[in-house]
Each structure stands twice: as structure tokens, then as C-alpha cells.
A and B are shown apart, each in its own frame.
Chain A
């Protein structure tokens, strides 16, 4: 079974600084998708960024970028120029095709003004 591990229960960063959240996963598949979701106190999961495993190029969405290391099964999220609105729980997730999303345990990110 696929598993997703986030080893950092909590992270904090100064406003305007850069922070990296870690994620590792385990799968025997070669074709899959990886995601980072943000969950603010409102509880609604919001997609931050998506990576297709067959693409070597790391995905980027404005201030958010990933470091995808397929051989190492590592998928970290880098947030540049951190803003107060970035404070939330961040979940790494794995999905193969139309199957279920498998989530990690989450990392609580705090932004210090």
C-alpha cells in the first residue's frame, strides 16, 4: 500500500523568508501524481501545487515550488517570500490515476511577523 510521510509536525518561519516542507512517499508504481494541499482553520483543503511523476521538471506556482526526487521518493515544498496568509496545515498527498488521495500526517506552518 502507498504511504506518505511528513516528518515535520510543525515549522515556523519569519515573514518574507523561505521555508521548505518535507515529504517522502512509498510506492511501487511509476506513474502517479503528487500534491501539496493547504488547510486553513476554515478546514477546506486548497490545492497548492501538483506534480506529475512522469515529468522531470519541478512544478512551480508563483511563490510555491517543489523539489521532486523520484528515485529518492521525495517531494518537498518550498515557499518563498512567506506571507501571513500562508499560515495553515500543509498536507502532502499521493494519487495514482483516479484512485483515492493518500495523505501524510500534515505540517503546521506558522508565520512570524
Chain B
């Protein structure tokens, strides 16, 4: 089966500009996650979707970050305006929904964002 697809792989922007990342999860996966991984740290959840509804966005900086998953399939994560501290790798992951008995989350290759 095809894996989790993310684009772009790399992005360099100036501070105060906007940027968007795209993720296409594995077909049939109801749950989609966006993680932020700052260099030298473990990934931190930004937002979790169950189909097209938000399950957890408690650590999403809502004044500048937004995410959507309109049709319950692919998703976009946007940052506007970007700050220097947003430089990180943004990882998308997907998994089967609750009750499936399968707990494995599959990750994409991530987008490395550099804000200058």
C-alpha cells in the first residue's frame, strides 16, 4: 500500500511570510496527525483529526497555525505569519480509527521548514 505522502520536502521562507504543507494519508485511515519536530527534540503533536473533525488541538498555536481536513482525507497545515522559532520538521502521520484494534501510526517523510 502507498505510504503517507507529504509535500513539499523542504521550504525556506522569510519571517512573517506564510507557508502551507500538504499531507495525503494512507487510504482508509480515519485518524490524521500533524507533529512538529524541532531539531534535537522528539515530535510534539500539533493537531489530531478523526475523519474531518478535530480531536486534539491543545498545543496548536492558533494565532498563527491553522489546519483543515475538509473531506476527511488529505489535510493542509498553514502558518501565517511565520516566526523564526517555527523552523522545524513537520511530520504527518495516519492510523486506522479507534476500535480498529490496530494502533500503529504511519509517518510521512516530513517537511523541513527553515524560517530566516
Contact = CB atoms under 8 A, between A and B. Distances in A.
Interface of A: 4, 33, 37, 42-47, 50, 91, 93, 95, 97-106
Contact of B98 (A50, A98, A103): A98
B33 A100 contact: yes
A44 B42 contact: no
Contacts of B75: none
A43 B104 contact: no
Given A33-B103, A43-B109, A103-B42, 11 more contacts: A4-B42, A43-B89, A44-B109, A44-B110, A45-B43, A45-B91, A45-B93, A98-B50, A98-B99, A98-B103, A106-B41
Nearest to B33: A100
17 contacts: A4-B42, A33-B103, A37-B107, A43-B89, A44-B107, A45-B43, A91-B43, A95-B103, A98-B50, A98-B95, A98-B99, A98-B103, A101-B105, A102-B45, A103-B42, A103-B43, A105-B41
Interface residues of B, number: 26
B42 A91 contact: yes
Which 5 pairs show the lowest CB-CB distances between chains A and B? A103-B42, A98-B98, A45-B107, A100-B45, A43-B110
Contacts, number: 57
B112 A43 contact: yes
Interface of B: 31, 33, 40-45, 48, 50, 56, 89, 91, 93, 95, 97-99, 103-105, 107-110, 112
A91 B43 CA distance: 9
A42 B104 contact: no
B48 A100 contact: yes
Given A44-B110, A50-B104, A98 B31 contact: yes
A44 B92 CA distance: 10
Contacts of A97: 98
Name, among A4, A100, A103, A104, the residue most crowded by chain B CB atoms within 10 Å (CB to CB). A100
A37 B44 CA distance: 14
Nearest to B89: A43
Nearest to B56: A100
